[in-house]
Amino acid sequence: MIIDEQLARQVVTKRQANSHKGTYGRVLLIGGFYPYGGAIIMSALACVKSGAGLVTVATERDNITALHAHLPETMAFDCEDKELFEENLIKADVVLVGPGLSENSKASRVFKQVLEKVSEHQSLIIDGSALNLLAKTMPLSFNTDHLVLTPHQKEWERLSGLAISEQTVDNTRKALENFPKETILVAKSHRTQIFQDQLLAEFTVGGPYQATGGMGDTLCGMIAGFVAQFRKNYFDSVAVATYLHSYIADQLSKEAYVVLPTTISAALPKVMKQLSE
Amino acid sequence: MIIDEQLARQVVTKRQANSHKGTYGRVLLIGGFYPYGGAIIMSALACVKSGAGLVTVATERDNITALHAHLPETMAFDCEDKELFEENLIKADVVLVGPGLSENSKASRVFKQVLEKVSEHQSLIIDGSALNLLAKTMPLSFNTDHLVLTPHQKEWERLSGLAISEQTVDNTRKALENFPKETILVAKSHRTQIFQDQLLAEFTVGGPYQATGGMGDTLCGMIAGFVAQFRKNYFDSVAVATYLHSYIADQLSKEAYVVLPTTISAALPKVMKQLSE
Amino acid sequence: MIIDEQLARQVVTKRQANSHKGTYGRVLLIGGFYPYGGAIIMSALACVKSGAGLVTVATERDNITALHAHLPETMAFDCEDKELFEENLIKADVVLVGPGLSENSKASRVFKQVLEKVSEHQSLIIDGSALNLLAKTMPLSFNTDHLVLTPHQKEWERLSGLAISEQTVDNTRKALENFPKETILVAKSHRTQIFQDQLLAEFTVGGPYQATGGMGDTLCGMIAGFVAQFRKNYFDSVAVATYLHSYIADQLSKEAYVVLPTTISAALPKVMKQLSE
Amino acid sequence: MIIDEQLARQVVTKRQANSHKGTYGRVLLIGGFYPYGGAIIMSALACVKSGAGLVTVATERDNITALHAHLPETMAFDCEDKELFEENLIKADVVLVGPGLSENSKASRVFKQVLEKVSEHQSLIIDGSALNLLAKTMPLSFNTDHLVLTPHQKEWERLSGLAISEQTVDNTRKALENFPKETILVAKSHRTQIFQDQLLAEFTVGGPYQATGGMGDTLCGMIAGFVAQFRKNYFDSVAVATYLHSYIADQLSKEAYVVLPTTISAALPKVMKQLSE
C-alpha cells in the first residue's frame, strides 16, 4: 500500500462545526529529560500544530521555560510531581513517551509507571529511549491494544533482535507478533515503512534534507496529534502523519538545503488546511 | 443583537492625537501559576497587542522568563511579593484574574485578595479557575459594578447551578441576577453569547479550527485590552473583543487547519487598524 | 529646527569599508531590575539593531535568559558582579543607565557608581528611574560633558522643579543650565523636543499608536546606538535617533493599530539602510 | 586563490539519497560560559542551519534554556558533567571550542581536557578565548592534524607573536609552521585570508555591515557545520564556509544597515540550497 495525497485527504477531514477541544483529544507527552530537553519541545510543537485539542507536557522543571518560550499553548509540569503525573496520565486520550526521556533510573521509573497506568481506552506511542527501555523488559503484556512503536533501525534491532541487515518485511512482521495484534510499527529508515499485522504502508516522498537531529521527535509528536484527532482508523492516521512529515519536508526542501524539524511543524496548519478542502 | 463589523468599527475608533499611555489604561493580569504558566502569557500577548496602555503580569517567579521571551513589553512580578501586588492592584484600571490561576490555596488567597481590594472605579474580569473559586464562595458582594465573567459551559454550571442542558437564554438571564446588575457575562460555547441585564449579543463568525488549548486565555486578554481602551460602552467593548477573537480566527482559518491562540494575538494590530479606518 | 529625513540622511551615513566593531562603539546598558526585566531587553534590541558595534547588558542574573532568547548578540552579566561591572563600565564608549533600573537601594548604589566611574571620554545617557534617582541627588557635578537626559514630563518635573504646565521652551532652557553646557535633553511628550544650550529640535512625525509600554526603553536604546556610531555631532545623532523612533512608528502604523516597541527595533536595519543610500 | 560562487558550488553538493544523520557528522560545540552565553547560541544556530547532522552543546546549565528557546534541535549539557562531557567529546566528529568560553580557570580546565581527549579522526576548531588559552600554553603537540584556527588579528598576535602590522602573508605562513602541517588558519580581518601550508584563499565579498558583535561566533559555527558535512577537502570546506558567511551578509546588506549574525544563520538553508543546484 502506497500512502499518497489521496489517503492524506481521507484522513485530514474538515472539522465538524459542533465540536470542541475534547473532540480533538487530550495528549500527554513525556520526555525532555536533561540533557535532551529540546526533544519534547519539538514533539510538542508538532503535536499542537497538527491540531490536537489539548497538549500537556510532563518533563523536568528546568525545561518548562524553554517549552513555553516556544509554545505557551501547552500545560507543562515536572514528571516528579506524582499527583500531576497520575492525574494527567489517567485523563489523556493519547500518551507519547520517549522523546528525550533518556535511559537513566528516573526514566525507567517513569516509563514503568506509564506501562502500568495506561488503560485500554488510551493510545500509547513509544519512541526514542523508551523503546530501548522497553527492549530491556520484553516480553511483557500491555494494558492497551492501541500501541504505536516508532523505532529507527538500531532501536528496532534492540527491540526485535533483528540485526539491521535482517530487517526484511517478513522478519519484521514476524517480530511484530510479539506485540499486541493491533500494534502499529513505524519502522524508520531512509525508506520508512509502517506495519500493522498484515498491513504494510510505504511512501515515495522524503529525502536526505531530513537527515538532521530532531526529525524523530517531530514525527512522533505529529503521530500523537493525528491519533488524537483522527480515530476512525488508527493505521491510516499513523501512516498519514508519517507520510505528511516527509511530504512537508519535500515541499520545504525546494527552498532549503537542510529542513529543520521545527520548520515542518510550522508548516502543518497550512498544509493540513489544503488537504482538508 | 448581532455583533458585526459595523459595531466593531464603532468600538475600535481612531486614537486621539493628544493621548498617552494612561489614556489606554493600566491592566493587571493575574495567573499563570504552575503548571499553567503558558495561560497568562497568552492573555498578556492578547492584551498588549490589542493596544492596552500598560500591561503588568502578576504570576510566579519561574514564569517571568518565558513571558519576557515573548513580550518584554510587560512588567512582571511574583504574586507573593505582597507590596508589588497591592501597589499594582490599586493602580490598575482593569484587573483580569484567572488564566492559569489554578485552584490551590495560594490561588484562593490571591483571588480573595483581589475581591477585597478591587474598588468601584476598576473593571474586574474573572476567567478560568477563578470562576471555580468564585463558585465556591458565592453568594458574595462585589466592590465594583464593572464585572465581566467569561465562563465556558462547565464553569457556568458551577457558578449558576444550571446544568449545561439547562443553560437557556432565560435561565442564564435569571442566574445572572445573582450578580451586580451591570455584570457582563461572556457565556462561551461553540455559539458564544454575551449577556448584560436584558442585553444579549451573538455573532456568526468562529468555527471548529478554534477548538484548541489556550483560546480562552487569549479571549479574556483581549477583553481586558478592550475594556481598558474603549470605556464609553463596556458591553459593546466586551462584545466586540469576543466577536473579533472569532472573526480573526475565521480569517486565519482560510490558511490554517487549526488556529493557534498566539496567531490570533499576532493579527490584532493589523485587523484593528483596518477596523479603525 | 525641524528634524526631517534630510537630516536623518546626513547622520546615517554609509559605513567606511575599512572599519570594524570598535569603530561603531562599545555600549553598556544598565537596568532591567526585577520587576522591570523587559525594559532593558527592549533597549538592547534597539541598540543592537541600530548598529552599535558591541552591546553589553548589566542587569540581574534572572533576566539574562530572556534577554538571550531575544538577542544572543549581547554579552550580559549581573550588576552585582563588581569586577565585571567595573571592567565594562571603564571599557564602554557609551553608557546608558536607567531602563527598568527601579529606585531601590541597589539601583541607587549602581547609579551612584556609574556617576563616579564615568569619565570625560564617555557618553552617559540617563533614562527612566535613573532620572528620578538623579533628581534626588541634584545638584551635582558630572565627570563627562557628553550627557543625554531622556525624561518624560513627570520625570522632567522632578528633575527641573518645573510643573508640567510650566515646561515651556524658555523655562526648560533655563532649567537645563543646571547641567553641563553640552547636555542634551530629550523632553518626551506627545510633542517631543530636543534641547542643547540654545539649540531646539522638533519633528512632525509620531502619533498615538505609540502610546504603549516600552516606547521609552526602545528610544533610549536607539539613542545609545546612534551616539555610539555617529559621533561627529552628538546633538544631531540624538535628534535623529529620536526622530527615527517616531518616523518608523509612523510607517508601521499604516498597518498597525498599536505599534509595539519591539517592532520598531525590528524595522531599524531596513530603514537605516534606506536612509544611508 | 580567490574563493567564489563556483568553488562554493563544488563544496555544497546535493546530498546522497541513501544518507542519514551520521553522514553529516556529529558536532560538539563548547563555550558560552557566563557572561558570554549568547556566543555559543550563535555558533549553534550557524552549525545546525548549515546542515550538520547532530549538534550538541557543552555550556553552563544556566545557558541551556536560552539555547533551547532558539534551537530545540540541539542537545545541551553542563560542561561540568564529566561523564556527559567525556562521552560526547569522544563521539564527536568535529569539536569546536572557544565561542564565549572565557579565560578563567574553568575554561582552562575544559580546554586542556579537549586538547588531551581529542584524537586523530576528529577535527578540532579553536576560536575566540580558546585561542588566547592556547597562546599561553604554546608550543604543544596536537593529537589531530585536522586543526582549524579562527583568530582575529589581536588573537593571532598573541598566538603567533606577530604584531598586527607584521601580519603579512609571508610572516603568517612562517608562524603557521609551529602548528601541524595541515592546520587551517582563518585569519580574520576586514580582508579575511585562509591559510594552509602553501595554500592561501581570499574573497572579495563582505563589508562593514558585518562590524557587529557575534560575527565570529557565527562564522566558526558555520565552519564546524561545513567540516562535519563536506570532508572531501577540508581546506575548501573551511574556505567556502568563510566565504559564504560574508557572501550572505552581502546579500542581506542590500536591505539592512547592519547585518545581525543570527540573520546570516537564518539565511543559510536557502542560500545553500541555491548553491547545491
CB-CB under 8 Å, A66 with D72: yes
Tell me the domain boundaries of chain D.
Answer: 23-272
H or E segment to which residue D234 belongs: helix D234-253
**Nearest chain C residue (CA) to B17:** C208
SS3 per-residue string spanning chain B: CECCHHHHHHHCCCCCCCCCHHHHCEEEEECCCCCCHHHHHHHHHHHHHCCCCEEEEEECHHHHHHHHHHCCCCEEEECCCHHHHHHHHHHCCEEEECCCCCCCHHHHHHHHHHHHHCCCCCEEEECCHHHHHHHHHCCCCCCCCCEEECCEHHHHHHHHCCCHHHCCHHHHHHHHCCCCCCCEEEEECCCCEEEECCEEEECCCCCHHHCCCCHHHHHHHHHHHHHHHCCCCHHHHHHHHHHHHHHHHHHHHCCCCCCCHHHHHHHHHHHHHHHCC
Nearest Cα to Cα of residue D100 among D196, D162, D161, D29:
D29
Chains that touch A (3 or more CB pairs under 8 A): B, D
Q: Are C264 and C218 a contacting pair, CB within 8 Å?
A: yes
Closest in B16, B69, B269 to C66, CB measured = B69
D221-260 per-position pLDDT tens digit: 999 999 999 999 999 999 999 999 999 999 999 999 999 9
Q: Which residues of B touch A68 (CB under 8 A)?
A: 37-38, 41, 63, 66, 69
Spatial contact of D118 and D112, defined as CB atoms under 8 Å apart: no
Q: Nearest CB to D66: which of C21, C48, C65? A: C65
Cβ-Cβ contacts under 8 Å between A and B: the total is 113
Report d(CA D173, CA B197) in Å as an integer.
Answer: 87
Q: H/E element holding D48?
A: helix D37-49
Cα D164 to Cα D171: distance, rounded to the nearest angstrom: 11
Q: Is D28 on the interface with A (CB under 8 A)?
A: no
Amino acid at B51: G
Of D92, D58, D91, the closest CA to residue D77 belongs to: D58
From chain A, pick out residues whose CB is under 8 angstroms from the CB of D272.
257-258
Phi then psi for residue B217, to 5 deg, are -65, -40
Asked if C34 reaches chain B (Cβ–Cβ under 8 Å), the answer is yes
Average pLDDT over residues D130-136: 96
pLDDT at A220: 98
> Is A138's pLDDT higher than 80?
no
If contacts are CB pairs under 8 Å, which of residues 191-250 in chain C contact chain B? 207-209, 211-214
Sheet strands side by side (includes A193-196): A75-78, A54-59, A26-30, A94-97, A123-126, A147-149, A184-187, A193-196, A199-201
* Mutation for testing the A interface, residue in B204, B212, B250, B251 having most A CBs under 10 Å: B212
pLDDT of D122 strictly over 80? yes
B237 alpha-carbon distance from chain centroid: 11
Q: Flag whether pLDDT at C138 surpasses 80.
A: no
Nearest CA in chain D to C83: D35
Counting residues of chain A whose pLDDT is more than 90, the rounded percentage is 95
For a pLDDT cut of 70, what percent of chain C falls above it?
100
Q: Residues 6 or more apart from B170 whose CB is under 8 A from it?
A: none
Contact of B126 with chain C, judged by CB distance below 8 Å, is answered with no
Neighbours of C78 (CB within 10 A): 17
In this prediction, residues A59-72 reach a mean pLDDT of 98
Contacts of C170 (CB under 8 A, 6+ apart): none
Which site among C258, C263, C264, C265 would you substitute to test the B interface, given the most B Cβ atoms closer than 10 Å to its Cβ? Answer: C258
pLDDT, position B138: 72
Ligand-binding site membership of B100 (annotated): yes
Crossing angle of helices C37-49 and C215-229, rounded to 10°: 40
- Give the minimum alpha-carbon distance from C207 to chain D in angstroms, rounded to a whole number: 25
pLDDT for B78 beyond 90: yes
Nearest to C64 by CA among B81, B68, B60, B38: B68
Q: Encode pLDDT of C28-55 as tens digits.
A: 999 999 999 999 999 999 999 999 999 9
pTM, full prediction: 0.98
Q: Which of B38, B62, B190 sits opposite A18 (nearest CB)?
A: B190
pLDDT given at position D5? 96
Please tell me the predicted confidence (pLDDT) of residue D137.
86
**C-alpha dist (Å) from residue C96 to A276, C31, C40, C61, C66:** 53, 9, 10, 19, 20
What's residue A172's pLDDT? Answer: 98
Mean pLDDT within B240-261: 98
**Does A76 reach chain D within 8 Å, measured CB to CB?**
no
For residue range C9-32, list pLDDT tens digits in order.
999 999 998 888 889 999 999 999
- Summary mean pLDDT of chain D: 96
CB interface of C with D, residues 94-123, below 8 Å:
none
Residue D74 assigned ligand-binding role: no
Contact D212 C48 (CB under 8 A): yes
pLDDT at B141: 84
At residue C2, φ and ψ (nearest 5 deg) are -100, 125
Residue D53 is assigned to a ligand binding site: no
- d(CA D48, CA D113) in angstroms, rounded, equals 25
Calculate how close chain B gets to C14, using CA atoms only, in Å. Answer: 31
Q: Residue D98's closest CA among D40, D147, D154, D49?
A: D40
Residues 2-21 of A with CB under 8 A from B: 12, 15-21
Chain D residues whose CB is inside 8 A of the A211 CB are 15, 19-21, 23-24, 53
Which DSSP state fits A21?
Answer: G
Mutate to test the interface with D, among A257, A262, A264 (most CBs of D within 10 A): A257
- What mean pLDDT do residues B54-63 have? 98
Task: Indicate the residue of A50, A53, A68 with minimum beta-carbon distance to B211.
Answer: A53
Distance separating alpha carbons of residues D117 and A204, to the nearest angstrom? 43
Label residue B52 by pLDDT band (50, 70, 90): very high
> Residues with Cβ < 8 Å from C204, sequence gap 6 or more?
C2
Q: Nearest CB to B211: which of A21, A50, A275?
A: A21
- The CA distance from C205 to the nearest CA of chain D, in Å, is 22
d(CA D207, CA D223): 19
Q: For an interface test with A, give the residue of B255, B258, B262, B265 to mutate (most A CBs within 10 A).
A: B258
Say if residues C221 and C46 touch (Cβ distance below 8 Å): yes
By CA distance, what is A15's nearest residue in B?
B208
Q: Looking at the complex, report in whole angstroms how far the Cα of residue D69 sits from the nearest Cα belonging to chain C.
A: 6
> For D262, which of C18, C20, C73 is closest by C-beta distance?
C73
List the single residue in D35, D36, D190 with the smallest CB-CB distance to C20: D190
Cis-peptide into C269, omega within 30 deg = no
Determine the straight-line distance between the first and last CA of chain D, rounded to whole angstroms: 24
Give the separation between CA D189 and CA D26, rounded to whole angstroms: 29
Report the residue count for chain B: 277
**Residues A144-172: what's their mean pLDDT?**
97
Alpha-carbon distance of B74 to B78, in angstroms, equals: 13
Alpha carbons B212 and A55: distance in angstroms, whole number: 9
pLDDT in the model for residue A245: 98
Q: Give chain D positions within 8 Å (CB) of C78.
A: 35
Please indicate whether, in this complex, the C-beta atoms of B273 and C257 are within 8 angstroms of each other: yes
User: What is the C-alpha separation between D116 and D120, in angstroms, rounded?
Assistant: 11
For residues A47-75, average pLDDT: 98
Check residue C124 and give its pLDDT: 98
Neighbours of A177 (CB within 10 A): 10
Measure in Å the smallest separation between the Cα of B107 and chain A Cα atoms.
17
pLDDT in tens, C82-124: 999 999 999 999 999 999 999 999 999 999 999 999 999 999 9
Strand order in the sheet with D199-201: D75-78, D54-59, D26-30, D94-97, D123-126, D147-149, D184-187, D193-196, D199-201
The mean pLDDT of B175-194, rounded to a whole number, is 95
Q: Which CATH superfamily is domain C23-272 in?
A: Ribokinase (3.40.1190.20)
The nearest alpha carbon in chain A to D16 belongs to A208
Q: Which residues in chain B are closer than 8 Å to C42, comparing Cβ atoms?
A: 72-73
Mutant choice from A258, A260, A263, A265 vs D, greatest count of D C-beta within 10 A: A258
Q: What pLDDT band is residue D19 in, cutting at 50, 70 and 90?
A: confident
User: Looking at beta carbons, which residues of chain A come within 8 Å of D24?
Assistant: 211-212
- In D, minimum Cα distance to A188 occurs at D20
In angstroms and rounded to an integer, the radius of gyration of the C-alpha atoms of chain D is 17
CB atoms closer than 10 angstroms to residue A50: 31
Helix (H, G, I), strand (E, B) or coil at A148: strand
pLDDT tens-digit profile of D193-213? 999 999 999 999 999 999 999
What integer pLDDT is reported at residue A211 of this predicted model? 93
Tell me, what's the pLDDT at B152?
Answer: 97
Q: Please, are residues B48 and B71 in contact by the beta-carbon 8 Å criterion?
A: yes
Q: What is the mean pLDDT of residues A33-48?
A: 98
Please state at what angle helix C169-176 crosses helix C153-160, rounded to 10 degrees: 50
Cβ-nearest to D17 among A207, A253, A262? A207
- Cβ within 8 Å of residue B102, ≥6 positions away: B33, B34, B36, B129
Q: Verify whether the Cβ–Cβ distance D272 to A260 is below 8 Å.
A: no
A108 grid coordinates: 525507567
Whether pLDDT at C153 is above 80: yes
Res B268 pLDDT > 80: yes
Say yes or no to pLDDT of A185 above 90.
Answer: yes
CA B170, CA B174: separation in Å to the nearest integer?
A: 6
Predicted pLDDT at A140: 76
Asked whether residue C236 is marked as a ligand-binding residue, the answer is: no
Mark yes or no for CB contact B211/A24 under 8 Å: yes
Q: Does residue A208 carry a pLDDT above 90?
A: yes
Chains linked to B by 3 or more Cβ pairs within 8 Å: A, C
- For residue C88, the model assigns a pLDDT of 98
**Helix, strand counts (H, E) of chain D:** 11, 9
Is residue B43 within 8 Å of residue A74, measured between CB atoms? no
Q: Which positions of A make up the binding site for (6S)-NADPHX?
A: 39, 100, 152, 217
> Which helix or strand (DSSP H or E) is residue C56 part of?
strand C54-59
Q: In this complex, do D53 and A208 lie within 8 Å of one another by their Cβ atoms?
A: no
Segment D7-21 mean pLDDT: 93
- The SS3 call for residue D218 is helix
- B257, A51 Cβ separation under 8 angstroms: yes
pLDDT digit string, tens, across residues B121-165: 999 999 999 999 999 987 678 999 999 999 999 999 999 999 999
Terminal Cα distance for chain A, rounded: 24
Contact between A72 and B38 under an 8 Å Cβ cutoff? The reply is yes
Question: Does residue D153 register a pLDDT over 80?
Answer: yes
CA–CA separation, A214 and D54 (whole Å)? 9
